[in-house]
Structure 1
Amino acid sequence: MELKSLVKLMGIALTGSALLNSTPLIAAEEIEDSAQEEDENKVVITGSRIKRTDVEGVTPVTIITAEEIERQGHANVYEAIRNLTANTGGVLDEQQTNSFTAAAQAVNLRGFGPGRTLVLLNGNRLPTNPKPYGGEDNFVNLALIPTTAVDRVEYLSSGGAAIYGSDAIAGVINVVLRDDYEGTQISARYTDTKDGGGETYRLNLMGGFAGDKYSFNYGFEVDKRTGLFGRDRDWLDEVTDSPAEDPWLVNDRDILIAYPFGRNGLPNWSYQDPGAAACDTNPNFDYSNRPGRGNFCGHDSTGDRALRAPRDRFNAFANYTYQLNTDHEFFVNALAWKSDADAELYYTGWWQQVSVVQDITAANPTWLYDLYYQRTFAPEEVPNEQSFDESAYVVNFGFEGSLTDELDYKLALSLTDYDYKEAIARFSQNGGLMAFFGVDGNDPNRNRLLDSWGTYLLQPSDLAADGYTSLNGLNMYNYFNNGELDGMYGLSTADGGSYARSVSFEVSGDVTELDAGMISFAAVVEWNEQGYNLDIDPTTDNGEYVGWSGVGGRGDRDHFAVGAEFLIPLTDELEATVAARYDDYQDDSEVGGSPTYQLGLSWRPSDDFLVRAAYGTTFRAPDLHRLFADNNQFFNNTIDYYACMLENNATPETANELFKECAQNGDSVNTRQNTQGDLSLEEETGFSANFGVVWSPIEELDLSLDIYRIRIEDMVTTLSASTYSQLEAECRLGFDANGDAVDGNSAYCQELYTRIQRQAGPVASEVDPINEVFLSSINMGLQEQTGADVNINYKLETQDIGEFNFGVKYSYVDEIKTQVLRTDEVDEDVRDTSYYNNPYRHRATISTSWSYNDLTTTLYFNRVGSTRNWAGDDRTPAYTTANLHVNYRYDKHLSGSFTIVNLTDSRPPEEAKWESWPFYNDYAYTNGGIGTEYFISLNYEF
């Protein structure tokens, strides 16, 4: 549906408002309450600090109750949030078991990135994960929230910077814990999958009691999960399950010796044939072939890769309140969490490129040929390990109550800490040189590093007669299971933590009375301190592990804020909200103070009809890791656009097509890449706007339609090495991809030349190839999204056959705009062309439930729209899954439920198949390989 069609629907709804106003469906005498009862019913809903009786305000808020989380078949709070229809961006989560944050759970609401949605627990900020998302952004790990403890989740789907400050660009998620349970209950849940693998066991205990002046709630949750691997799914267990065509459908190249630049008439990257006998010496590898390249020793590791890694988690929570007197109450709530996880990596490996020269001691040795050695190790040879040990605690305490009859207050202190440890088995670069060449890489008379290419020099006398077997080291094809490699590998470790401390004082109440009613207000003063550190071991920090680097860093900052919000009745039907806030950041960066504001109007011509609109400015301070990250190095492939364009004799007239051709088919080179924090980053700014209607045409039916636009300018991001390579090529060529002139001597181009460093390689070429790239975060131009959200809820109560509830939620992304550099043209086609963000065009959920006596059933559908396919030339069909939940209460003590997740065993559409494992877009189709899953739960209340 086009957005203009939604606007038309909104117009039709608006035209009916006069009729609704003149014929209210609920009699006035039925809705009149005393002033005292009204005050008692006032609550604070996310999106405003003002207590009010109306749940619907100027900004839309979605509420998911604990009962809905269970009924809809979500395994935990994270899955419930992830399945919000507003979650239209792809996300890297614990399914990416080889990622930087393989045990974490993050969401990407509106596709702006995990760090741009503020996550609160009982209205307070949570600690960020010390290990940054994707190695770049700090984020809140939703795994630390226990499902048992949750009363509801509130999601404000528009920006809330004027209320909450930084990070509330794409909205606010506030998880509210239970605080009113009395009694004791214990519940157990067992989970299994139809095709096997991934069993989970969860045990919950919750209790509570109260006295005249106090109440106390507590709970524990233990959650254990076994691993789920490709071998557990017959469509993900072999390399031939990939839609790719030869020569890519081959075994892993575990033991490989190749000629990168050819030799004796062989083409580039031809393999030396080891012979079947050499491969037979290692029971893990088979004699294999790659068409066009040659034979090697390899195996199919597809089935060993994890769809969900094994992990154990423990949560505990407690909530205590004490009524000091009629006006003041003391409160404290605490949360503790611990997680141990094992992410299954691919086999540990080692590789090295070697230049064989005539005389290694010569000042300018004569180059003969290059060799590329690659050796992957079975778990018996080098442990295959990646473990995560994480823990966190959150303590909030303070006082709340009344200062006067008209003025309420809340004084709150929050303490949060997060500890993080990881250990990953890696092979040492120098260990491989010692093992396979008998050299330590440091003796200039035996072995010499060729500048910063990472290429080592040997001479023919170092090799056997075949020209590739080392005379002094181990045989590459041996099976090392008796400790021969001890000391040549180690554990790459990271040890970090984060913390947040805050003190806030809020007051709220009524200011003065106008003809239309009382002006209500809320004001807040906050002080926050946050910091993080992530320390990596010296071997990792020095880049001595093959193909691996750390993401260390450390930094802290103080943050002071003051804000106020007013609710002003303009007429009996029209009220306005005005909010303003000033945030001041104090750290070593150039980020200082930033004001934000929000203006809103809500028009209620009748009790069952609301028109609302709001506009607010937003801002976000750069993540601590973006500012304070250490210099981190790693190797990755980079397209050399300049070499490719010269090879194709590019001109301004052919530039556009040739740049696209180079992006698709251009040769890439393995380059050393560097990233580091940048204290000169500016804060992100922007706005959030929404306009919508809420309508209850009959008492049992609620409808809402909201159109939103979110815009971020100066968005902090890191450009890829290939992007910098294209920009550098434009400077060197003197024209850009559009054929427009570029001044290669400008300061802009000079800065690019320092980022892309070229150096003569082992083979002479017209252009010195790229050997090192310096990356850092930048403030990009902008990102903007326009779309609409629709909500429909209907309840039907009958005397004979029970109660029926229907709910539909729908989010439509109409347009996404981006501008990478401030000098670029704005790209308005991102929604349909983005490859990395994988945005959906729409998302929808449908929930229908039936309750009769002690039986409740729910059928829940989750539909995600199309995404870009692997080839980038089309979009995939939509993908729908269904969950079925049945709950039965046997008596007042015992109840049980049975849930089937993915009822039809649906897989991502065939058109969505990717060439790389797991052969579908796992950023977009999260849990796409799990298949049908069963939950069996029992609950006993004492």
Structure 2
Amino acid sequence: MSAPAAFAQDATAQAGKASAERATNLDKVTVTGSRIKRADVEGPTPVVVLTAADIEKEGFNTVYEALTTLSQITGDVQNELTQSGFTPNAQFLNMRGMGPGYTLILINGKRMADYPQPYNSRSNAVSLSSIPGAAVERIEVLTGGASAIYGSDAVAGVVNIITKSNYDGNAVKIRAGTSTRGGGDTGLFQFTGGKSGDNWSVTYAAEYLNREEIQASQRDFMDSYYDNPDFKGRPDFATATSGVYLYRNTGAQYVWKGSDGSINNSVKNLREACAATSSEFTPYNSSASVSNSTPNRCGYFGYPATQSVQNSFDKLSGYVAGTYDFSNGLQAYAQALVTDSTNKGYSSTQFWQTPGYVYDPTLGYVQAQRIFTPEEVGGPQATVYDETSINVVGGVRGIIADRFDWDASISHSRFDYDTTRPRFLTNKISDYFLGPKLGMQGSYPIHKMNVDRLFSPLTPDVYNSLITDVRNSGSSKNTTGSFTISGDLFDLPAGPLGAALVVEAATQEYTLDPDIRSTVTYTGADKIYNLTATGGGGERDRYAMGLELSIPIFDSLKASVAGRFDKYDDVTNVDGAGTWSAGLEWRPFNSLLLRGNYSTSFRAPDMHYVFAGPSGSYSYIVDQLRCRQANLDPKSTACTGNTDYYYQVFSTRQGSRALEEETGKSFTVGFVWDIIDDLAMTVDYYNIKLEGAVSDIDSDYLFRNEADCLLGKDINGNPVDGNSQACKYFTNLITRDNTDLGTNKVTEKLSVPFNQAMMRTSGIDASLDYKFDTDRWGRFSFGMKYTHVLKLEERDLPDSELHNARDDLQYFNYRSKVTLNSAWSKDDWSASVYGTRAGSLPNWAETGRVSPYFTWNLTVNKKITNKASVGIQVVNLFDKAGGNDDTFNSYPYFWRAYSAVGRQISAELNYKF
């Protein structure tokens, strides 16, 4: 019977080989990037294939871990190291450095629901956290624009995850492992099986993954502010987060409560106050240039130690797929993939501070802050993520007149998300330290501050009386009905004219239901302290029709053209989007394919960019205006390490219904060359351009421009017109404290998305694969895949200057990436080595670059019976952790693209029956 449109279920085992190995003598199959069946796996657009066997040989536990090592994944994403972010439990891909969401993720050619919680509180993307390796047959990755085939989102590429089918027998895998630096104990159980009859088949799989968390306290290079490279070798100069302070506006003094009850700014009182508040608090000087022998602050150096390096996982997945052949030539098919997980992530401990100045009748105008240690709150506090994903599809397919394959299906994908985390109640925590409000002194509230409580430990019982569980939930759905028909229309002199027609109707919706007590508009007595959640929700319908033609021009030359129109029925300014593509394949010799493809692409605005309700968040900013007014370099430790200039601010944002679609163009040209038997090579050039990208302004970019505008010059002394339209835009997004006691600090920044940015990237992808047999030593294989980014140009605003971000020392995506693999097998033994070289990144000081980052994985397997085998896997063989950057003075002291896990070792048992 015919394969479902958009994926190759009936390919032979050869179709799973590396993309550089051009298959011949195959039955016609459908390969990602086209809906027309073809005998040649290689086509006009490059496709990389990652098989289940590849994932096994590379030693990874999850599909996501394997995909992130692909050379085309050069972009950075927020991850588990970003616990202060909005999606620390999601797993996103960033192909070509264009950002999550610009790569279309499919399961068997069908769309998946987005992760409900938006990435960085802004955009939507598919998380790969719900894909179990037990269900995966192979993954086909198209590395170019493909909206003319698949519609929205296929800008940087397409990842098509193809699940197992027609499986015969049963197999069990049990794996157990840990990290050699501590934490991260992992257990993996996989069961895969299948049965078939005369007219039916069923394939099934189950997977259970349990992984222990790793906390920063288990990594000695990031468990304390003493690990800051600026202070290694001179710990007396280390700066920390202020664990507790009381600041009096009168005399501009930090004052402390001594053991005799006095409140003053003496060093004696400071030392006594630190010791009385917590054993974790240490006197220090807030300026990195002054020795701590003359302290002026009470610091908490272990503040970041409780945050997660790696979240804990507890995931259970099930998969089933089946077919039934009717006597009239029809085949019904259905698939279901369900994953349920309960994961945990840990962030740094909570803190409390006064809402600006308050007036104390005894002390005058004061500000105060208090950070709480794990001992005070009963240990590290976890955020629990309960997530369930469901992907189901059902359909019927057949053949018309022994000529045309057709397929009609309905697919539904859903992702439900629920989080629970402990947080302070605003009124309770404020009343605990400030007592009741006694009136107003001008524009400031009057409180009689409880200084004794400020400078004494908090007990777990008291902590529990001040907190509540905050629950946020969300759901995302995508339902699509599609009909595809493909086949040969008629014969041309050089061969048959192939065609495929697709018609789709789809609906997409999402809801984010935050704990109402954490919304910016909530004013109840039980409002959550220092936490604002993102809410939103909406739906839209989509209708599409596409046509694709495969045109033989000569025996050795073939053209392919495709066109598609997507009609959107929603509240945005997107009415419809038409896209097209054209490709050429020329085979001057049987062993050589020259190929090229040009396509247009688009991306409909993210649902959350459109429907986000008013929301707020707290984030740290570098106040570049005040730094420069104090004659400090905004990038220096004197600025970034000082709470007068580096502090939290409140940010508000909401969606916009005035958004239009983002439009793109993609061009690839290259060759596939079978040099000799078992030696193949590919080289492809890519060029992708995206215009009208929806974005919020980057925080550093915003505050840099605000400072330029208000000071009338940039940091290099070049004049800036403070009355320009751009300057008015930048300064209107920022609110500063200009009250009578104001410090001119930022109190709030506003963010609204709009179509503003342009991005253009180009580069080279190359691969080399070689295999050979020896009578004595066994079979060997070697492979290399290489991506080199030649250019990545960006324009933040329509009238901004175009700059090449690739060479910018603030660009933290890889400019090059290489993967290397070698394998050996002989008799009952096999082994493989898999290496990744991630290219250099800028150092944090922006004065140079950090050397490339190498990791190596090793797997060894031994067949012990006809049914059983055992193996060991070592991921990150040489225990590389963090980046070697002696200038990285911001926690965690290395860029998040690097690993903090280190070496992982596991052993496994495989049994087939």
* 2:442 paired with 1:457: no
- When structure 1 is superposed on structure 2, of 488-497 and 168-177 the one drifting more is 488-497
Q: Give the 3 Å change call, closer, same or farther, for CA 262–919 of structure 1 in structure 2.
A: farther
Q: Which of these residues, 383, 386, 401, is aligned with residue 386 of structure 1?
A: 383
Report the CA distance shift for 1:270/1:278 in structure 2 as closer, same or farther (over 3 A): closer
Aligned length: 866
1:594 and 2:577 matched: yes
SS at 2:799 equivalent: coil
Pairs within 5 Å for 1:317-396: 317-325=319-327, 327-355=329-357, 369-378=365-374, 380-381=376-377, 384-396=381-393
Paired residue for 2:857? Answer: 883
Question: What SS class does the counterpart of residue 454 from structure 2 fall into?
Answer: coil
Q: Matches of 1:762 and 1:420 in 2, distance apart?
A: 45
SS of 1:419's partner is strand
1:315-341 Cα distance to aligned partner (Å, 9 max, x none): 000000011135311000000001111
* Distance in 1 of aligned mates of 2:406 and 2:601: 26
Confirm or deny: 8 A CA contact 2:225 2:301 kept in the other structure: no
Whether the 8 Å CA contact 1:506–1:524 is kept in 2: the answer is yes
CA contact (8 A) 1:185 1:206 kept: yes
Counterpart in the other structure of 1:709: 687
Task: Classify 1:586/1:296 alpha carbon distance in 2 versus 1 (closer, same or farther; 3 Å).
Answer: same
Question: Aligned residue for 1:777?
Answer: 753
Secondary structure in structure 1 of the residue aligned to 2:141:
strand
Describe how 1:190-589 pairs up with structure 2 within 5 A: 190-245=176-231, 249-250=238-239, 252-259=241-248, 263=252, 274-281=269-276, 284-290=279-285, 291=292, 294-296=296-298, 298=300, 300-325=302-327, 327-355=329-357, 369-378=365-374, 380-381=376-377, 384-439=381-436, 443=437, 445-447=438-440, 450=443, 456-458=444-446, 462=448, 469-470=450-451, 475-481=453-459, 483-542=461-520, 544-589=527-572
CA 1:914 to 1:711, structure 2 compared with 1: closer, same or farther past 3 Å?
Answer: same
Structure 1 residues 93-144: Cα deviation after superposition (integer angstroms, max 9, x where no partner): 2343343112111111111111110000011011111111121111111010
CA separation in 2, counterparts of 1:214 and 1:265? 78
CA deviation after TM superposition for structure 1 residue 780, in Å:
2.3
What's the offset of the Cα at 1:732? 5.7
Q: Secondary structure at the match of 2:555?
A: coil
Could you tell me how far 1:725 is from its partner in structure 2? 4.4
Q: Is the 8 Å Cα contact of residues 159 and 169 (structure 1) preserved in structure 2?
A: yes
Q: Is the 8 A contact 2:376 2:457 kept in 1?
A: no
1:727 Cα deviation after fit: 4.5
Inter-partner Cα distance in structure 2 for 1:358 and 1:303: 34
2:874 is matched with 900
Q: Which amino acid in 2 is paired with 1:333?
A: Q
CA contact (8 A) 1:492 1:537 kept: yes
Q: 1:355 to 1:658 in 2, by over 3 A?
A: closer
Corresponding residue of 1:820: 796
For the structure 1 residues 754 and 510, does the alpha-carbon distance in structure 2 shift closer, same or farther, using more than 3 Å as the test? Answer: same
What amino acid is the match of 1:241? D
Deviations 1:273-313 (A, max 9, x none): 65555444456534432347614263524543321122200
2:807 paired residue among 815, 822, 832: 832
Distance 2:131 2:360 in 1: 63
Alpha-carbon distance, 1:499 to partner = 0.7
Structure 1 residue runs of 5 or longer lacking an equivalent are 1-24, 361-366, 451-455, 464-468, 649-656
* Alpha-carbon separation, structure 1, partners of 2:340 and 2:249: 47
Kindly indicate whether the alpha-carbon contact (under 8 Å) linking 1:58 and 1:600 is maintained by their aligned counterparts in 2.
Answer: yes
Letter in 1 for 2:596: A
Residue in 1 that maps onto 2:657: 679
Deviations 1:687-739 (A, max 9, x none): 01001011012121110000001111111111134534454566666778895
Q: Please, which moves more after superposition, 480-489 or 83-92?
A: 480-489
More moved, 906-915 vs 858-867: 906-915
Quote the Cα distance in structure 2 between the aligned partners of 1:565 and 1:359. Answer: 78
Match of 1:617 in 2: 600
Q: How high is the TM-score relative to the length of structure 1?
A: 0.86
1:874 aligns with 848
Match 1:797 to one of 773, 786, 792:
773
Contact 1:555 1:628 in 2 (8 A): yes
Secondary structure, counterpart of 2:610 in structure 1: helix
**1:248: how far off?**
6.8
User: Do the aligned partners of residues 372 and 845 (structure 1) sit closer, same or farther apart at CA in structure 2, a change above 3 Å counting?
Assistant: same
Q: Secondary structure at the match of 2:909?
A: strand
Contact persistence 1:256–1:271 (CA under 8 A): no
Supply the distance in 1 between the matched residues of 2:108 and 2:74 (Cα, whole angstroms).
Answer: 25
**1:354 touches 1:457 (CA, 8 Å); kept in 2?**
no
Amino acid at match of 1:219: A
Any gaps of 5 or more consecutive residues in structure 2? Answer: 1-20, 257-263, 286-291
Matched to 1:446, the amino acid is G
Measured at CA, do residues 310 and 401 of structure 1 come closer, stay the same or move farther in structure 2, by a change above 3 Å?
same
Structure 1 segment 9-48 matched on structure 2, within 5 A: 41-48=27-34
Contact 2:604 2:662 (8 Å CA) reproduced: yes
**Structure 1 match to 2:259:** none
Q: 1:298 to 1:759 in 2, by over 3 A?
A: closer
Give 1:645 shift.
Answer: 6.8
Whether the 8 Å contact between 1:228 and 1:309 is mirrored in structure 2 is yes
Q: Assess if the C-alpha contact under 8 Å between 1:876 and 1:912 holds in 2.
A: no
Tell whether the 8 Å contact from 1:260 to 1:270 is kept in structure 2 after alignment. no
Bigger Cα displacement from structure 2, 474-483 vs 319-328: 474-483
Normalising by structure 2, report the TM-score: 0.89
Whole-Å Cα distance in 1 between the matches of residues 251 and 581 of structure 2? 65
After superposition, the Cα gap between the structure-2 partners of 1:623 and 1:274, relative to the gap in structure 1 and judged at 3 Å, is farther
C-alpha distance in 2 between matches for 1:524 and 1:732? 55
Q: Can you list the C-alpha shifts for 1:362-392, whole angstroms capped at 9, x where unaligned?
A: xxxxx96442322325355377231111011
Cα deviation per residue 1:621-677 (whole Å; 9 max; x = unaligned)?
1110111111112334455566677787xxxxxxxx999999977946654321111
Structure 1 pair 273/515, CA: closer, same or farther in 2 (3 Å)? farther
Q: Which moved more, 1:883-892 or 1:226-235?
A: 226-235
Change beyond 3 A, Cα 1:857–1:157: same
* SS of equivalent residue, structure 2 residue 572: coil
Give the superposition deviation at 1:229.
Answer: 2.3
Residues 510/846 of structure 1: CA separation in 2 closer, same or farther (3 Å cut): same
State the match for 1:21 in structure 2.
none
Counterpart CA distance in 2 for 1:240 and 1:644 is 24
CA contact (8 A) 1:860 1:884 kept: yes
Once the two structures are superposed, residues 914-940 of structure 1 have per-residue CA deviations (whole angstroms, 9 ceiling, x without a partner) of 323332112x21xx2222111211011
User: Which residue number in structure 2 is paired with residue 189 of structure 1?
Assistant: 175
How much does 1:347 deviate? Answer: 1.2
Query: Structure 2 vs 1, CA of residues 493 and 771 (structure 1 numbering), >3 Å: closer, same or farther?
Result: same
Q: 1:760, CA displacement in angstroms?
A: 1.9
Deviations 1:839-895 (A, max 9, x none): 112100111111112211101111100011111111111111111111122222111
Match of 1:846 in 2: 820
Alpha-carbon distance in 1 for matches of 2:119, 2:369: 32
| Contact 1:50–1:521 (8 Å) recurs in 2 | yes
CA distance in 1: counterparts of 2:141 and 2:846, whole angstroms: 33
CA distance in 2, matches of 1:818, 1:271: 52
Secondary structure in 2 aligned to 1:90?
Answer: coil
- Paired with 1:483 and 1:152, the residues of 2 have a C-alpha distance of 52
Letter paired with 1:420: Y
Residue identity opposite 2:390 in structure 1: Y
Provide the identity percentage. 30
